[in-house]
């Protein structure tokens, strides 16, 4: 549906051309075709086509970074990105040198074998001494080459380990360790991206904020390990009952917030009600105890007149507060 109308054959042709252009561009520029990367470039190409723009590669990339480049406000995050880039470049350089040295070693070995066969057939003593000396030098060079290759291999493994460690640390900085969902910092960055998309292109989205009811009572009654297990299982519920492109995050102790791309407020209310029903009917088993929990929900929709991501979250939070104040285990939007 486009503006309430059924897609025509011309619409399908138009979209097909965009899909083809996006995939061709991503393949040519060696862009990993992940769902997020494809979605972002598809939006940019739609914008270009809808406005009859003929943009160069550099102009397309400028639009991409203007829309999606993460605005890092902490020096250590900027430094981490620079270090990761240096490590990647260093790893690639060592790979090239290693391949070159390996090829050189093969050539030396082949040359040494030929030389050895020649020496065995030479009768003249003086020439044979010269050839033996050359062969000795070749063997010495081969030994040096092998030592260099071993050193390169050690450096390659160390750099690979450092690269993996850096990426792990960066990932952990954006993930809540208990639930495996995004943490607050990662969520806020993503929400800012969606906010910019709406302001530029009008792409709709809604936000759900939920908070477990009487969570302190669970900790007090069953202990903090039980509380942690409840939070983990709630994280699993959100992963299992939301779409792949929805973005759930743990944004507080027992508070979770979800971005729903392309979803209106009415649809978001239905999503929240489904989640509320699943949670209220879910039982958490802990040390022989059957723990039941409920959650309250506040919903807000991005629309004209909302001036900041914070304003959108405040509206969802106000609705959540109303749900809590008027009986809990309900959805307000």
Q: Which domain CATH number covers 306?
A: 3.30.70.270
| Residues constituting the chain | 333
Tell me how far CA of residue 326 lies from CA of 83, 278, 292, 299, in angstroms: 51, 21, 20, 15
251 & 291 share domain: yes
The rounded distance, in Å, linking the Cα atoms of 254 and 230 is 10
In a domain, 3, yes or no: no
Question: Which pLDDT belongs to residue 93?
Answer: 61
Q: Hey, how many other C-beta atoms are within 10 angstroms of the C-beta on 217?
A: 11
43 & 100 share domain: no
268 & 217 share domain: yes
237 & 279 share domain: yes
Query: Exactly one of 172, 193, 254, 315 is catalytic; which is it?
Result: 254
Question: Which pLDDT belongs to residue 72?
Answer: 39
Question: Given 23, 40, 68, which residue is the final one in a domain?
Answer: 68
Question: Given 31, 51, 68, which residue is the final one in a domain?
Answer: 68
pLDDT, tens digit, for every residue of 137-184? 666 666 666 666 676 677 667 667 766 666 665 566 688 989 999 999
In a domain, 278, yes or no: yes
202 & 320 share domain: yes
237 & 320 share domain: yes
222 & 163 share domain: no
In a domain, 148, yes or no: yes
Four-residue CA torsion sign, 58, 64, 66, 72: negative
- In terms of Cα–Cα distance, which of 210, 230, 205, 228 is closest to 285? 230
Q: 151-187 burial, b for 16+ CB within 10 Å, e for fewer?
A: ebeeebeebeeebeebeeeeeeeebbeebebbbeebb
Question: Given 19, 47, 68, which residue is the final one in a domain?
Answer: 68
314 & 197 share domain: yes
In a domain, 178, yes or no: no
In a domain, 179, yes or no: no
Pairing, β 289-292 against β 283-286: antiparallel
Question: Which pLDDT belongs to residue 327?
Answer: 94
307 & 240 share domain: yes
Question: Which pLDDT belongs to residue 4?
Answer: 46
127 & 215 share domain: no
125 & 202 share domain: no
Clarify whether 255 is annotated catalytic.
no
The stretches of the chain forming alpha helices (DSSP H) are 9-28, 35-50, 57-68, 75-121, 125-172, 184-201, 215-222, 224-241, 265-280, 309-325
Give the domain extent around 38: 9-68
Output the tens digit of pLDDT for each of the chain's 333 residues. 444 455 577 777 777 788 888 888 877 776 766 677 778 888 888 888 877 788 877 778 777 776 765 443 444 454 455 555 655 665 666 666 556 656 656 665 666 666 566 655 655 565 556 556 666 666 666 666 666 667 667 766 766 776 666 666 556 668 898 999 999 988 998 999 999 999 988 889 999 999 999 999 999 999 999 999 999 999 999 999 999 999 999 999 999 999 999 999 999 999 999 999 999 999 999 999 999 999 999 999 999 999 999 999 999 999 999 999 999 999 999
314 & 193 share domain: yes
Q: Are 272 and 316 in contact (CB under 8 A)?
A: no
In a domain, 2, yes or no: no
Full-prediction pTM beyond 0.95?
A: no
Structural domains counted in the chain: 3
Question: Which pLDDT belongs to residue 100?
Answer: 63
The rounded distance, in Å, linking the Cα atoms of 314 and 248 is 17
């Amino acid at each position: 549906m486009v503006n309430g109308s059924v897609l025509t054959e011309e619409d399908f042709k138009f979209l097909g051309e965009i899909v083809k252009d996006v995939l061709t561009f991503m393949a040519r520029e060696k862009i990993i075709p992940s769902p997020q990367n494809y979605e972002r470039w598809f939006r940019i190409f739609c914008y270009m086509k809808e406005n009859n723009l003929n943009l160069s590669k550099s102009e397309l990339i400028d639009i991409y970074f203007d829309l999606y480049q993460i605005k890092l406000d902490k020096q250590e995050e900027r430094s981490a990105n620079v270090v990761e880039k240096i490590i990647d470049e260093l790893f690639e350089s060592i790979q090239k040198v290693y391949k070159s040295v390996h090829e050189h070693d093969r050539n030396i070995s082949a040359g040494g074998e030929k030389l050895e066969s020649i020496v065995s057939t030479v009768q003249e003593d003086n020439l044979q001494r010269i050839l033996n000396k050359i062969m000795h030098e070749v063997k010495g060079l081969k030994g040096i080459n092998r030592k260099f290759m071993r050193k390169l291999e050690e450096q390659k493994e160390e750099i690979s380990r450092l690269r993996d460690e850096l990426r792990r640390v960066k990932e952990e900085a954006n993930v809540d360790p208990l639930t495996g969902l995004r943490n607050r910092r990662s969520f806020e960055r993503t929400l800012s991206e969606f906010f910019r998309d709406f302001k530029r292109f009008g792409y709709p989205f809604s936000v759900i904020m939920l908070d477990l009811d009487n969570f302190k009572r669970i900790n007090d009654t069953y202990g903090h390990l039980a509380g942690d297990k409840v939070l983990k299982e709630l994280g699993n519920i959100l992963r299992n009952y939301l779409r792949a492109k929805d973005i759930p995050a743990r944004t507080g102790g027992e508070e979770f917030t979800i971005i729903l791309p392309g979803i209106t407020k009415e649809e978001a209310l239905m999503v929240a009600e489904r989640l509320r029903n699943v949670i209220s009917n879910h039982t958490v088993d802990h040390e022989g105890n059957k723990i039941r929990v409920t959650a309250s929900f506040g919903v807000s929709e991005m629309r004209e007149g909302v001036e900041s991501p914070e304003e959108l979250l405040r509206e969802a939070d106000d609705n959540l507060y109303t749900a809590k104040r008027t009986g809990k285990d309900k959805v307000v939007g």
